């Protein structure tokens, strides 16, 4: 990609040195100078709050089949020439109505607000057990001890996953989520396709096992769910389970870790949260806004789409930059680049997307974030960095891979 960029050009360029540590400097220049950018790689990049928000709600397509012939489609085909498509592209995230409506309503039926609220005691128990282990260790890694295992355990238990090779699943889903960002090389594209196929195969076995061992869990409910007399079956069922499983933990890990990172760099805000536990709900909205766990989502135009005085043609791939929209001074004010846990409009962040594909797991993620970060900061008054944080190198699901902390209980 570097050979496509003129020196000094303001361009969305995740390969620029320093981008993973701080993408926000680049986003700010894009918002100011080219908020609806036609990118040389063949996609469009939208970075202001109002435009992102409108785009998400506009009911555009998410199906790759609607992409117009051209360099982007050629590149996708060239990267994975003989790929076994796996099951993931059958998930609701990649489908338009009527399929999207059918699939989403089947999952919404079993993923209710009440069911999520009922999980709170279990989440508190899991968090406290993780904090006990951290206290025993003193110095440890926040991602390994809390930010990753909490959402992973919660979604595994909700689904009723049988004991399986968790390390392998973690590895596979870490590769699979790269499909949500610009893929620049064939090796990564092939690794993603292989991970999709392997995770789909594991999930197929899990579903077969669950059919013989039904229980009070989400997987059983999904197997039995009906919509207009139809049940979910085959690859479609596999795809929804993989989506819930992967989305259930690969995102919330960043909410918790990015939130704690922001707090440790803002001691006054950390103290405020410690002193006022009822700030936790707004604090989580502010974490979501300030350093968004999911930085982008995408839409595909099926007819010309007008935005900020530009016309995006039909069949275009449009990246809506949630991470940038959430820092837009035009909406959040001149202090948009600061962490303020009492920010009055923090809940208008667009981290969960908007419109028909608005995140189904938002209530669960919020609850996990509030319990985990709230209890962590109150339990350890001396919580601090114990070394350098290492970013995971992801453009979209951006967060720390390594986060050494000291807790001295
Ligand atoms: C969709 C973010 C946690 C399940 C999405 C989308 C975003 C998102 C940006 C796409 C929205 C759009 O394009 O308009 C997040 C963030 C999370 C999180 C930031 C954590 C902080 C979860 C959890 C689950 C989940 C815990 C499930 C257990 C889903 C599902 C969809 C989705 C099923 C697809 C909805 C559809 O296509 O209709 N999420 N998510 N997410 N998310 Fe989440």
Give percent above pLDDT 70 in the chain.
94
**What is the pLDDT, as a whole number, of residue 5?**
59
Tens-digit pLDDT profile for residues 96-128: 999 999 999 988 877 888 889 999 999 999 999
Residue 364 CB coordination number (10 Å): 23
The ligand 1 atom at the shortest distance from the C-alpha of residue 292 is 19
pLDDT of residue 107: 87
Q: Which residues, in sequence order, are CB contacts of 333 under 8 Å at separation 6+?
A: none
C-alpha to C-alpha distance for 188 and 199, rounded to whole angstroms:
16
Report the predicted TM-score, pTM, of the whole model to 2 decimal places. 0.95
Residue 361 has what pLDDT? 95
List ligand 1's pocket residues with C-beta within 6 A. Answer: 56, 92-93, 104, 155, 243-244, 247-248, 251-252, 255, 293-294, 297, 351-355, 357-361, 364-365
pLDDT tens digit sequence for 227-251: 667 778 789 999 999 999 999 999 9
CA of 238 to the centre of ligand 1 (A): 17
- pLDDT tens, residue by residue, 12-36: 999 899 999 999 999 999 999 999 9
**Residue that has been written with the tokens 């059958």 in this structure:** 90
Q: Which residue from 251, 256, 369 has its CB within 8 A of the most atoms of ligand 1, so it is best to mutate?
A: 251
pLDDT at 83: 59
**In the block, residue with structure tokens 């796996």:** 86
Residue 231 tokens, joined:
């049940």
ipTM: 0.99
Q: Which residue's alpha carbon is at the smallest distance from atom 1 of ligand 1?
A: 359
* Closest atom of ligand 1 to CA, residue 62: 13
Task: For 160-207, write each residue's pLDDT tens digit.
Answer: 988 777 889 999 999 999 888 877 678 888 899 899 999 999 999 999
Q: How many domains does the chain have?
A: 1
What is the spatial distance between Cα 394 and Cα 175, in angstroms, rounded to a whole number?
10
Mean pLDDT to the nearest integer, 396-402 = 97
pLDDT over threshold 80, residue 330? yes
> How much is the pLDDT for 82?
60
Q: Which domain holds residue 45?
A: 2-406
Q: Rounded to an integer, what distance in angstroms lies between the CA atom of residue 259 and that of residue 68? A: 39
Per-residue pLDDT reduced to its tens digit, 334-382: 999 999 999 999 999 999 999 999 999 999 999 999 999 999 999 999 9
Q: Which residues contact 208 (CB under 8 A, 6 or more apart)?
A: none
Is a pLDDT exceeding 80 seen at residue 88? no
What pLDDT, on the 0 to 100 scale, is given for residue 242? 93
Integer Cα distance of 268 and 248 in angstroms: 31
Which residue among 155, 361, 370 is best mutated to probe the pocket of ligand 1, counting the most ligand atoms within 8 A of its Cβ?
A: 361
Q: Can you give the CATH number for the domain in which 371 is found?
A: 1.10.630.10
Ligand 1 atom at minimal distance to the Cα of residue 294:
19
Q: Quick count: other Cβ atoms within 10 Å of Cβ 59?
A: 12
How far is it between the farthest Cα atoms of the chain? 61
Q: Whose CA is nearest to atom 38 of ligand 1?
A: 357
With CA atoms as reference, report the closest residue to 54 among 343, 318, 286. Answer: 318
Phi, psi of 334 (to 5 degrees): -60, -20
CA distance 315 to 301: 5
- Whether the Cβ atoms of residue 137 and residue 255 lie closer than 8 Å to each other: no
């Amino acid at each position: 990609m570097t050979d496509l960029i003129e020196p000094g050009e303001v361009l969305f360029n995740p390969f620029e040195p320093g981008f993973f540590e701080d993408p926000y400097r680049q986003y700010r220049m894009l918002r100011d100078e080219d908020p609806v950018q036609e990118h040389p790689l063949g996609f469009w990049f939208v970075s202001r709050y109002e435009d992102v928000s409108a785009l998400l709600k506009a009911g555009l397509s998410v199906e790759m089949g609607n992409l117009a012939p051209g360099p982007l489609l050629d590149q996708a085909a060239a990267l994975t020439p003989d790929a076994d498509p796996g099951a993931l592209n059958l998930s609701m995230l990649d489908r338009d109505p009527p399929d999207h409506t059918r699939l989403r309503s089947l999952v919404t039926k079993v993923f209710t607000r009440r069911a999520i609220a009922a999980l709170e005691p279990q989440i508190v128990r899991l968090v406290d057990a993780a904090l006990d282990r951290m206290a025993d260790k003193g110095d440890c890694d926040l991602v390994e001890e809390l930010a990753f295992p909490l959402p992973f355990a919660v979604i595994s238990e909700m689904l009723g996953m049988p004991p399986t090779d968790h390390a392998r699943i973690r590895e596979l889903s870490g590769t699979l989520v790269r499909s949500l960002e610009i893929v620049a090389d064939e090796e990564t594209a092939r690794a993603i396709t292989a991970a999709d196929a392997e995770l789909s195969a594991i999930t197929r076995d899990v579903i077969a096992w669950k059919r013989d061992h039904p229980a009070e869990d989400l997987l059983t409910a999904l197997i039995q769910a009906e919509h207009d007399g139809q049940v979910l079956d085959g690859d479609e069922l596999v795809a929804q389970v993989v989506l819930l499983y992967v989305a259930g933990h690969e995102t919330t890990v960043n909410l918790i870790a990015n939130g704690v990172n922001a707090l440790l760099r803002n001691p006054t805000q950390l103290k405020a949260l410690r002193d006022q536990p009822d700030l936790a709900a707004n604090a989580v909205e502010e974490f979501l806004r300030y350093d968004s766990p999911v930085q982008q989502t995408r839409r595909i135009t099926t007819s010309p789409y007008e935005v900020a005085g530009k016309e995006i043609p039909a069949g275009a791939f449009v990246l809506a930059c949630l991470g940038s929209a959430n820092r837009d001074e035009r909406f959040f004010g001149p202090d948009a680049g600061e962490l303020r846990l009492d920010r009055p409009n923090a809940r208008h962040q667009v981290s969960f997307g908007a419109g028909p594909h608005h995140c189904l797991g938002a209530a669960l993620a919020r609850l996990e974030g509030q319990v985990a970060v709230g209890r962590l900061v109150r339990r350890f008054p001396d919580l601090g960095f114990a070394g350098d944080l290492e970013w995971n190198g992801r453009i979209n699901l951006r967060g720390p891979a390594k986060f050494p902390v000291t807790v001295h209980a």
